[in-house]
Chain A
Amino acid sequence: MRFEKYFQPGSVEECCALLKEYAGKAKVLAGGTDLVPRLKMGLLKPTAVIGMMDIPGMDEITLSEEGLTLGALANLRKISLDSRLDQDYLVVKEACGHVSSMQVRNMATIGGNACNANPSADAIHGLILNDATAVIASDKGVREIPILEFFAGPGKNTLEQGELLVKFVLPKVKPRTGAAYKKFAIRGDSDISIVGAGARLTLAEDGTVAEARISLGAVAPTPMRAVKAEALLSGKAPGEELFRQAAEAAAEECSPISDQRASREYRLEMVRVWVRHALEEALERAK
């Protein structure tokens, strides 16, 4: 694990300048739970490593009238234990709390989980279900993109050279909304997900589904939304049969592969099971 330079800049501007200077040859260090093993295994050989921990405010979790802001360095364990989120953002807590072991969560960050762009990432489901926006800085200024546009493929995000992910902004949650995230893995949270399934339901006053979100992990090259399944739910009265149909639609929309963790067929079956359970729980919470 050798690299030539290590920096710990004190501001976003300074950090962006360094990223620009090293033009793709620098890696950003947040919690380090993914970066350090990859450096050790020789999978990444950057010239410089840039630690973000001295940039003020990067790790903040801010709840306001407008919604929730999570700094890129917001710690997963802190998010998972933040009781201020219980009311509206329970699913954000839940998804962060399902990432690996407590030892890893003590180090890992929400920004790191997103930047790694692992298709099976858990923490980012809370962001997808809440239509989060990623705030990205560079020497050219700040740009904002919807969370799903942040992922490009397995291990690939859409950050350009010289860009730094600063924070996620989650809009205010509408009334009568409930959301849940289900992680399915053989050895619980410490395993990498075989399937991740999240659901959010916002109900109209008459109890029908006004808005639905379904997020899926580990079943496509990037984390995804099952938009056809969402459309199928919209405007209908929620119930067992409808959820079954939505889960089936979600299974049709995704494109899992077979690997050492599970076969394609098993993953599809688990999408059917866990989307249904996520919807059931989201409905419970919406009521």
Chain B
Amino acid sequence: METLIGKGEKRIDAYDKVTGKGLYASDFDNQFPNMAHIKAKRSPYAHAKILKIDTAEAQALEGVLYILTGQEPGIDWDQYPKAAVLATDRTLWAGQAVALVAAETEELAEKAVELIHVEYEVLPHVLDYYEAIKPEPAAVIDPDYETRDQGFQDRPADRATNRVSPNIVGAFYMNSGDVEEAMAKADVTVEGEFWVGKKTASPLECANAICRYDSDGGITMWSNGAGVHGVIKQGICRILGMKEAYVRVIQPYMGGSFGSRLNPYIEILTALMCLKTKRTVRFTFTRKEVFCSAPSNWPCITKIKLGAKKDGTVIANDYYLCEEIGAALNNTFFSGRLSSSGAAPCYRWAEKGRTSNMRMDTYAVSTNTVPAAEYRGLGCPEAEFGIECLMNRLADELHMSPVEIRLKNIIDNGERNCYGELITSIGLKKCLQAVADEIGVEEEPVQDMGVWKKGRGCAVGGKQNTPLGRSEAEVWYNSDGTIQLFISCDENGMGATTAMTQIVADQFHVPITAVRTTKGDTAITPYDNYSASSRTTYNLGNAVLAACNECIAKLKEEIARHFGLHPSKVEIEGTTAYLKGTYVQEVNIPSLFVPVGMFTQGNWGLQQGTPVKGHGIYCPAPIHQWDKNGLSDRVWNWFQYSAAAVEVAVNEETGEIKVLRVASSADTGNPINPKLVEGQIVGGVHMAIGFSTMEEHLYNENGEIANCNFSDYRLPGILQMPKNEDVHAFINPDALPDGPFGAKGMAESITIPVGPAIAEAVYKAVGVRVTGYPMTAERILALIKEKKAKEAAK
């Protein structure tokens, strides 16, 4: 049978999802007639001292089972996910929970929440970078930072030695080559300050968890959160002190995540309330809570200076970045350095063959806003926006095309990036060429839309894969020849389960429909951390391959023994084994499994009803600790790359941006399933159009998100998207040596270049340089007016 790798197989969950037959976490709501409901009392103030919490009236309400406040003894809130921490003496953002209620019905829980009376003393707040970073800010989010024990103390500049503000928490410093000398040698320099706003991943299904109290004191949870083993079960065991055997976590279909569900911000609290009430409890966020009480992205401010030779070779990058982490106490692994990875991937920052001249000075700053956490791209779209804008400006100043200047500077396979890491897979140049040709970036569009002016632009982006954790897989070859796969990756919607099933089908030479996959149940499926950093295809794919190998090897051994052969003389194709060196040339494998009855004895070997099992484990090699300059030959694992080109129309009268045509290309390594990759490309482009042109948090005077609903938080609808025939997806693989079949992940890279490509197209259309996003109509119109005023003044 022909290989299935690289074939656009149909998603294994398509039927369930399209027909509505698939069960999502919320569908389990009506399976437990005796279920109690959790609701949260939340702070309306971004920063306030809690003077008093009076729960007496709520407590007295019949049907109220339990009220939890921040003062509850025996809880170490430092261990909880940031967005799940109940306020104790101070509320740190508007939307932080002050109390949780469990009650017999949802309505009773809501009523009890209303009856909890909280007295606040409102304190001044800081809501953005510019306020928070002042030497004497109006509010200090973590006054104990200096003395707080940090989990990660091994990085350069970790304690943020240059703390210009008490709100700076965590820093990273990296220095390669000699930036100052290179800058002095440069023929041309460009610099700028860029910002990217705060937004919320908006999966259609709000966060939801149901926790059943089992009769033996164990708990079983159904949740649409990510990482049944690595995030939720581990989190419950670690934080609540549960024994591993007594926690079971099941993930039904997930209604989306985009990274946001990697934080178990409802799961731990739901389990806690389950243990407190000894009842099956359910906690479902409202849409408002998804905005105000679930993690956002990391907004970034970047100040960047690039120096280049006349021929377009960029020889120096002086890079400052500050990422806003919201109201998160406790330094995390990411604080102050995560988005910095985004400065590294695509370019040399030196002449070919020389050491990169790159200085990176990155910080994290806290604000009185919802804690930031994982969001598709992990800070890279935010961190690379300014770099890409400046590359386009450089191209203009040097009268080069934006394609040409990039082709000159993009790293080649086999080179080292600015950290000193060896690049083993990069298809970015091909990606860029493909999208630029499709849109005609180097040609002028015909202006034929009246007040709508057209422009074209392109950009590239790259993102690291962090060498995370461990993935395991189990494969069963059943006695009737059917095959089963057991895995615990998240299916956020990306199609990873299909790709994994495809790998198994390929290894056993059967159609994909012959393999049945069971997923995401800690009592049944083997360990996996979570689906993050676009790792699933790579990490789990390798584990699945190993499991197939083990299963096939065992099966070959059993078959070989039957015929007195060496296992190497056996080949397996579905239910048929082909044999060499014996009078039997082929055999039906299920026929070798002996029937079993009530009194059968000596049940060794192949027996009906007992599968042959294979188990596989994969963990990428850990990073090498960086030196005092922040350099290391292994900081990340591998990089995913993407290029985008767009044609937009900008309305000169209203400032609106319409994306007319878009081309996006992913360097996936060898794709397992190109159809799924194309789906990811299109989805990523659409998401990026949304956050580049519309989505952002806006605040009222209390510091509360004013647009915490889908009518005012503007996610693009189908009519704001270019038509299907105007969205072009290309795959330009460069095989990753250690990926399964040369594959690597790609889902995050897509969103990175879309914003800067739109910014460039806007400049070409109406002549204004955007310095941040979302590029709302109002902002674009203000820039157009400013430009017209300047021209009139001349």
Chain-B contact segment, one of A69-77, A125-133, A229-237, A258-266:
A258-266
- Once bound together, how far apart are the Cα atoms of A191 and B719, in whole Å? 12
B717 with A266: CB separation less than 8 A:
no
A266 with B720: CB separation less than 8 A:
no
A36 contacts the other chain (Cβ, under 8 Å)? no
Which residue from chain A places its CB closest to the CB of B698 in the assembled complex?
A: A260
B653 with A186: CB separation less than 8 A:
no
B778 with A262: CB separation less than 8 A:
yes
A270 with B654: CB separation less than 8 A:
yes
Which residue from chain B places its CB closest to the CB of A272 in the assembled complex?
A: B653
B177 contacts the other chain (Cβ, under 8 Å)? no
Known: A188-B719, A262-B778. A273 touches B654 (CB 8 A): yes
- Once bound together, how far apart are the Cα atoms of A192 and B781, in whole Å? 20
Which of B110, B654, B781 is packed against the most chain A CB atoms within 10 Å?
B654
B716 contacts the other chain (Cβ, under 8 Å)? yes
Chain-A contact segment, one of B412-420, B603-611, B707-715:
B707-715
A140 contacts the other chain (Cβ, under 8 Å)? no
A174 contacts the other chain (Cβ, under 8 Å)? no
Residues of B contacting A158 with CB < 8 Å? none
Residues of B contacting A42 with CB < 8 Å? 110
A83 contacts the other chain (Cβ, under 8 Å)? no
B654 with A263: CB separation less than 8 A:
no
B716 with A266: CB separation less than 8 A:
no
Within the complex, the shortest CB–CB distance from A56 to chain B, in Å, comes to 35
Residues of B contacting A262 with CB < 8 Å? 778
B706 contacts the other chain (Cβ, under 8 Å)? yes
- A187 contact from B107, B707, B716, Cβ within 8 A: B716
- Once bound together, how far apart are the Cα atoms of A190 and B698, in whole Å? 20
- A273 contact from B110, B653, B706, B707, Cβ within 8 A: B653
Which residue from chain A places its CB closest to the CB of B713 in the assembled complex?
A: A260
Known: A191-B714, A260-B707. A186 touches B656 (CB 8 A): yes
B717 with A188: CB separation less than 8 A:
yes
Residues of A contacting B720 with CB < 8 Å? 187-188
Which residue from chain B places its CB closest to the CB of A259 in the assembled complex?
A: B706
B694 contacts the other chain (Cβ, under 8 Å)? yes
A190 with B717: CB separation less than 8 A:
yes
Q: Flag B718-751 by CB within 8 Å of A: 1 or 0 each.
A: 0110000000000000000000000000000000
Residues of A contacting B711 with CB < 8 Å? 191-192
Residues of A contacting B778 with CB < 8 Å? 262-263, 266
B777 with A186: CB separation less than 8 A:
yes
Known: A261-B712, A263-B778, A266-B778. A184 touches B654 (CB 8 A): yes
Residues of B contacting A269 with CB < 8 Å? 781
Q: Flag A249-269 by CB within 8 Å of B: 1 or 0 each.
A: 000000000011111001001
Residues of B contacting A190 with CB < 8 Å? 717, 719
Which residue from chain A places its CB closest to the CB of B776 in the assembled complex?
A: A186
- Once bound together, how far apart are the Cα atoms of A187 and B694, in whole Å? 10
Known: A192-B711, A260-B698. A187 touches B719 (CB 8 A): yes
- Once bound together, how far apart are the Cα atoms of A260 and B694, in whole Å? 12
Within the complex, the shortest CB–CB distance from A154 to chain B, in Å, comes to 16
- Once bound together, how far apart are the Cα atoms of A187 and B710, in whole Å? 12
Residues of A contacting B110 with CB < 8 Å? 42
- Once bound together, how far apart are the Cα atoms of A266 and B706, in whole Å? 18
Within the complex, the shortest CB–CB distance from B378 to chain A, in Å, comes to 28
Which residue from chain B places its CB closest to the CB of A263 in the assembled complex?
A: B778
Which residue from chain B places its CB closest to the CB of A189 in the assembled complex?
A: B719
- Once bound together, how far apart are the Cα atoms of A261 and B698, in whole Å? 10
Which residue from chain A places its CB closest to the CB of B451 in the assembled complex?
A: A273
A260 with B716: CB separation less than 8 A:
no
Known: A260-B707, A260-B712. A187 touches B781 (CB 8 A): no
Q: How large is the interface on A (under 10, 10 to 19, 20 to 34, 35 or more residues)?
A: 10 to 19
Residues of A contacting B716 with CB < 8 Å? 187
- B781 contact from A188, A260, A261, A266, Cβ within 8 A: A266
Within the complex, the shortest CB–CB distance from B473 to chain A, in Å, comes to 43
- Once bound together, how far apart are the Cα atoms of A187 and B719, in whole Å? 8
Q: Flag A105-117 by CB within 8 Å of B: 1 or 0 each.
A: 0000000000000
Within the complex, the shortest CB–CB distance from B702 to chain A, in Å, comes to 14
Within the complex, the shortest CB–CB distance from A97 to chain B, in Å, comes to 14
Which residue from chain A places its CB closest to the CB of B656 in the assembled complex?
A: A186
Within the complex, the shortest CB–CB distance from A163 to chain B, in Å, comes to 30
Residues of A contacting B707 with CB < 8 Å? 260
Residues of B contacting A260 with CB < 8 Å? 698, 706-707, 712
- Once bound together, how far apart are the Cα atoms of A184 and B781, in whole Å? 14
Within the complex, the shortest CB–CB distance from A248 to chain B, in Å, comes to 14
Which residue from chain A places its CB closest to the CB of B655 in the assembled complex?
A: A266
- Once bound together, how far apart are the Cα atoms of A232 and B781, in whole Å? 28
A186 with B717: CB separation less than 8 A:
no
Residues of A contacting B714 with CB < 8 Å? 186-187, 191
Q: Flag B640-653 by CB within 8 Å of A: 1 or 0 each.
A: 00000000000001
Which residue from chain B places its CB closest to the CB of A100 in the assembled complex?
A: B711
Which of B656, B716, B778, B781 is packed against the most chain A CB atoms within 10 Å?
B778
Residues of B contacting A187 with CB < 8 Å? 694, 714, 716-717, 719-720
Q: Flag A176-217 by CB within 8 Å of B: 1 or 0 each.
A: 000000001011101110000000000000000000000000
- Once bound together, how far apart are the Cα atoms of A229 and B31, in whole Å? 62
Within the complex, the shortest CB–CB distance from A280 to chain B, in Å, comes to 12
- Once bound together, how far apart are the Cα atoms of A42 and B777, in whole Å? 34
Residues of B contacting A191 with CB < 8 Å? 711, 714
Residues of A contacting B653 with CB < 8 Å? 273
Within the complex, the shortest CB–CB distance from A195 to chain B, in Å, comes to 10
- Once bound together, how far apart are the Cα atoms of A266 and B110, in whole Å? 39
Residues of B contacting A266 with CB < 8 Å? 777-778, 781
- Once bound together, how far apart are the Cα atoms of A190 and B715, in whole Å? 12
Which residue from chain A places its CB closest to the CB of B699 in the assembled complex?
A: A260
Which residue from chain B places its CB closest to the CB of A266 in the assembled complex?
A: B778
Which residue from chain A places its CB closest to the CB of B697 in the assembled complex?
A: A260
- Once bound together, how far apart are the Cα atoms of A257 and B624, in whole Å? 56
Residues of B contacting A2 with CB < 8 Å? 107
- Once bound together, how far apart are the Cα atoms of A8 and B650, in whole Å? 51
- Once bound together, how far apart are the Cα atoms of A186 and B715, in whole Å? 10
Which residue from chain A places its CB closest to the CB of B777 in the assembled complex?
A: A186
- Once bound together, how far apart are the Cα atoms of A263 and B655, in whole Å? 14
Within the complex, the shortest CB–CB distance from B722 to chain A, in Å, comes to 15
Within the complex, the shortest CB–CB distance from A145 to chain B, in Å, comes to 31
- A186 contact from B107, B694, B706, Cβ within 8 A: B694
Q: Flag A19-60 by CB within 8 Å of B: 1 or 0 each.
A: 000000000000000000000001000000000000000000
Residues of A contacting B712 with CB < 8 Å? 192, 260-261
- Once bound together, how far apart are the Cα atoms of A2 and B111, in whole Å? 13
Which residue from chain B places its CB closest to the CB of A277 in the assembled complex?
A: B653
- Once bound together, how far apart are the Cα atoms of A188 and B718, in whole Å? 11
Residues of A contacting B717 with CB < 8 Å? 187-188, 190
Which residue from chain A places its CB closest to the CB of B651 in the assembled complex?
A: A273
Within the complex, the shortest CB–CB distance from B286 to chain A, in Å, comes to 10
Which residue from chain A places its CB closest to the CB of B778 in the assembled complex?
A: A266
Q: Flag A154-188 by CB within 8 Å of B: 1 or 0 each.
A: 00000000000000000000000000000010111
- Once bound together, how far apart are the Cα atoms of A260 and B653, in whole Å? 21
- Once bound together, how far apart are the Cα atoms of A266 and B717, in whole Å? 22
- Once bound together, how far apart are the Cα atoms of A167 and B619, in whole Å? 71
Within the complex, the shortest CB–CB distance from B103 to chain A, in Å, comes to 16
- Once bound together, how far apart are the Cα atoms of A191 and B715, in whole Å? 11
Instruction: Offer 21 A-B interface pairs, CB within 8 angstroms, sorted by A.
Output: A2-B107, A42-B110, A186-B694, A186-B776, A186-B777, A187-B716, A187-B719, A188-B717, A188-B720, A192-B711, A259-B706, A260-B706, A260-B707, A260-B712, A261-B712, A266-B777, A266-B778, A266-B781, A269-B781, A270-B654, A273-B653
- A positions within 8 Å CB-CB of B: 2, 42, 184, 186-188, 190-192, 259-263, 266, 269-270, 273
12 additional A-B pairs beyond A187-B720, A263-B778, A270-B654, beta carbons within 8 Å, are A42-B110, A186-B776, A187-B694, A187-B717, A187-B719, A190-B719, A191-B714, A260-B698, A260-B706, A262-B778, A269-B781, A273-B653
Closest 9 CB pairs of A and B: A260-B707, A260-B706, A266-B778, A273-B653, A260-B712, A260-B698, A188-B719, A187-B717, A186-B714
